[in-house]
Amino acid sequence: MFDYIIIGAGTAGCVLAARLSEDPQVTVALLDAGPAATPPWADCPAAMPLLTRRGGGTSVVQPGLNGRSAYLPQAPMLGGASSIHAMLYSRGDPSGYDRWAVDNPGWGYADMRPYFARVESALQVQNLPQPSASSAAFVAAAGQADWPHAPHFSSTSPQGIGLAQVMQHAGMRTSAASAYLAQHLQRPNLQRFTGVQAMRVLLRGRRATGVEFGQDGLVKQLDAARAVLLCAGALQSPQLLLLSGIGPHAVLLGQGVATRHDLPGVGQQLQDQVAVAQIYHAPRAPGLLGWLRLAQGALQWRKTRTGPLTSNWWEAGGCVASQPDATEPDLHLGFAIGKLLDHGRPTLWGRGFTLQARVLRPASRGSVQLASKDPFAAPLVDPNLLGQREDLECLQRGLRLLRHIAQQPALAALGARESRRSALAQADLPLETFIRDHAQASGHWTGSCRMGPGPLDVVDAQLRVHGVQGLRVVDASVLPCSMGDGTQAAVLALAEKAADLLRVDNTGG
């Protein structure tokens, strides 16, 4: 028996395992779906597109995408999303945290600042070490288009365009796994189980007592004395609750799962920050993709951990308000140093860059549901991308803002020319068609186990599942609204705070 069982060794799970096991009197089991080893090139920042294109799934058909399914980037490796994403670090907009705290005291921006400080110290967040000249040109062009400059993205003024701050150290990716967990895996009170498929949370009445999981073709069980902690992410955590009989009764009945606790909000209210990109050909831009440059860069990175392969690709960007009367940003405008579509699928060669618009506060809501009661079957994920027209209109404004930036002298000097596939979409209707044909999921999923006191909320402000003792959810699924940018900083700080909550309530709740 362990005091705590953590299901999911992703961003939040690594933080929790490291923090909880600091107490030698506390025993922790960490269940990890991925293999024991990570790819040898996973620490190389420029390998990001190779990581995001492996192990992902697809959504159900999206009417808002003209009947396409969306690619869902996922991370079957230690560290989860923090081990595959573009390493961008941004706390987000303070107003997002303050909205969160309206119904959930203790989660406002002022409450979270100490936890951000812990995260930034642990991950050694820094400015991009060797940004490309084309990224500097994008920032200059944004200034020429009258957007303010953002020197960093951890301030209380969230608007502006600048060079990225990244989760890197000494030319290598820093993830929740490398920063928090790797050096502590030998602790005698911490045991990691790899290649694990969680099947259901074990319940005795309305109390979680452990977990049943598959490993090496066998079904096994572990018991938890204090709490079971779901850290499987916004797609898998609701799936596991549903498989355990915790969720909407009608949904469970339809899949033949016995209802243990009728909780209508499980798997509902899923959000993702839908995005769309434009490709630009730029013959005078320094290129990253090219056999000779890649070979030279790989040799330099291997020897000195410097050079072009320290790039995270998405080297610049920022949050902006797309309408004059807006009081807070609603778009993220991003710049990638190569031609990068849909998480690196496909690879596009040649000199150029990518401009991307991403909706920060999506109005569309989707769901995560069971495909069947088979725990080895992937869930049915419906992010309902562009389900609400205001998200589409936000992207239309975003692409026009990006075109205006691309026309400024700093980028025009690179010979920038918009790809024909998007350049023909100028009027509203062709631009709408282009967006619906090319928009993508960003992977910033939230809301599927939403925090709050309402009838469709799943956890309370202590992260405890409503109506079930000894069971908490600690990952992006509990975020009830967008924090104004990506989810990484928010989830890392959430996990730091969760560890403190568990230390205070050592019964597990």
CA 73 to each of CA 55, 58, 435, 442: distance values in angstroms, whole numbers, following the listed order: 7, 8, 20, 8
Collapsing DSSP states into helix, strand and coil, what is residue 261? strand
Cα separation, 10 vs 8, in Å, equals: 6
Inter-residue long-range contacts of 182-186, CB under 8 Å, 24+ positions, other chains counted: 184/17, 184/18, 184/21
Active-site option among 261, 332, 343, 444: 444
Q: Helices 94-103 and 109-123 meet at what angle, rounded to 10?
A: 130
Proportion of the chain in helix, strand, coil states, percent, rounded to 5: 30, 25, 45
End-to-end CA distance of the chain: 17
Three-state SS annotation for 262-315:
ECCCCCCCEECCCEEEEEEECCCCCCCCCHHHHHHHHHHHHHHCCCHHHCCCEE
The answer to whether 166 and 88 are in contact (CB under 8 A) is yes
User: DSSP class of residue 440?
Assistant: B
Q: How many angstroms separate the CA atoms of 394 and 505, rounded?
A: 43
Query: Is 444 in the active site?
Result: yes
**Which residues are catalytic, by number?**
444
